[in-house]
Amino acid sequence: MTHTFTCPHCASSWHLTAEEVQSMHDCGVADLLVDEVLCDDCEAATAALEASQRAEDRRAAFLAGIPAEYRSASPERVPACFAQAKMARPLRMGLIGPSGSGKSCAMAVHVIARGSPFVWLTVNELREITIKAAVHGGEWSAKLNRACAVPVLVIDDISQARFTEAFASTFYELLEIRNKNRLVVLWTSQKPLDALRAKIAAQCGDSDQSEAISRRLGQDALQLTAG
């Protein structure tokens, strides 16, 4: 006997001959003889919709790593002083300027355009991770390892942390690991590197360490300054 298929989306119908039905039984695929099957056009449209949804889900997951207030940042909002950040792909990049100068907006646009896996941390979040990794290990050590190994690391507001001796040491080790493996480091700061170096030296009590940190941050870096 023949078998009729009906598309549940568009209600179109098509048929299999008795010989085709018998062949499906002989091949052990008779369970495919259901009454409702998508037609070729509807199946293609459904596949395209599912692919589009997967792409949207991937983009949403990607953007979730950026602070919420910058996820919708657009190139048009990037101040002229940071315009190079929109297209550049440096191994190191620092955006320097006072609060409200558009650093983080420009950084978000850069990260989105770059499209690589990344971790975005404020420097105080990074400091908390290093402290808790040393005390508790576990998930905090995993977070620190992730910061060391992710293709792109963003350190926001780098001038805002208190650089104790322990944090300065761990921070330098992180930069060294990333430098050795040619992994991208992007940072923002309210202070230029000279002033940041002086601040770190005053707080950690080690001018050599502060020099080493500023050298790693500035090494072959594209530095863009507001104003």
Q: Where in the chain is the domain with CATH 3.40.50.300?
A: 66-225
- Predicted pLDDT at 227: 75
Average pLDDT over residues 173-202: 96
pLDDT band at 29 (very low <50, low <70, confident <90, very high): low
Condensed to tens digits (0 to 9), the pLDDT of residues 107-127 reads 999 999 999 999 999 999 999
Would you say residue 4 has pLDDT above 90? no
- Predicted pLDDT at 79: 95
Would you say residue 27 has pLDDT above 80? no
- Predicted pLDDT at 13: 77
Q: Helix or strand or coil: residue 29?
A: coil
Beta strands in 85-126 (DSSP E): 92-96, 118-122
For residue 33, give every residue at least 6 positions away whose Cβ sits within 8 Å of its Cβ, in sequence order, or none.
3, 16, 21, 24
Condensed to tens digits (0 to 9), the pLDDT of residues 55-113 reads 888 889 999 999 999 999 999 999 999 999 999 999 999 999 999 999 999 999 999 99
- Predicted pLDDT at 90: 95
Average pLDDT over residues 124-141: 96
For residue 151, give every residue at least 6 positions away whose Cβ sits within 8 Å of its Cβ, in sequence order, or none.
116, 117, 118, 183, 184
Of residues 107 and 44, the one with the higher pLDDT is 107
Q: Which residues pair with 224 in a beta bridge?
A: 95
pLDDT band at 33 (very low <50, low <70, confident <90, very high): low
- Predicted pLDDT at 65: 95
Identify whether the C-beta of residue 95 lies closer than 8 Å to the C-beta of residue 190. no
Q: Rounded to an integer, what distance in angstroms lies between the CA atom of residue 1 and that of residue 211?
A: 85
Identify whether the C-beta of residue 172 lies closer than 8 Å to the C-beta of residue 130. no
Q: Say whether domain 66-225 belongs to CATH 3.40.50.300.
A: yes
- Predicted pLDDT at 57: 87
Would you say residue 10 has pLDDT above 90? no
* % of the chain surpassing 90 pLDDT: 72
Tokens read off for 10: 């568009």
- Predicted pLDDT at 115: 93
Average pLDDT over residues 145-166: 96
Q: Rounded to an integer, what distance in angstroms lies between the CA atom of residue 222 and that of residue 212?
A: 18
Query: Euclidean distance between the first and final Cα of the chain, in Å?
Result: 82
Residue of 179, 212, 183 whose CA lies nearest to 196 = 212
Average pLDDT over residues 31-43: 70
Q: Rounded to an integer, what distance in angstroms lies between the CA atom of residue 161 and that of residue 155?
A: 11
Q: Rounded to an integer, what distance in angstroms lies between the CA atom of residue 18 and that of residue 25?
A: 11
Residue of 50, 33, 40, 49 whose CA lies nearest to 10 = 40
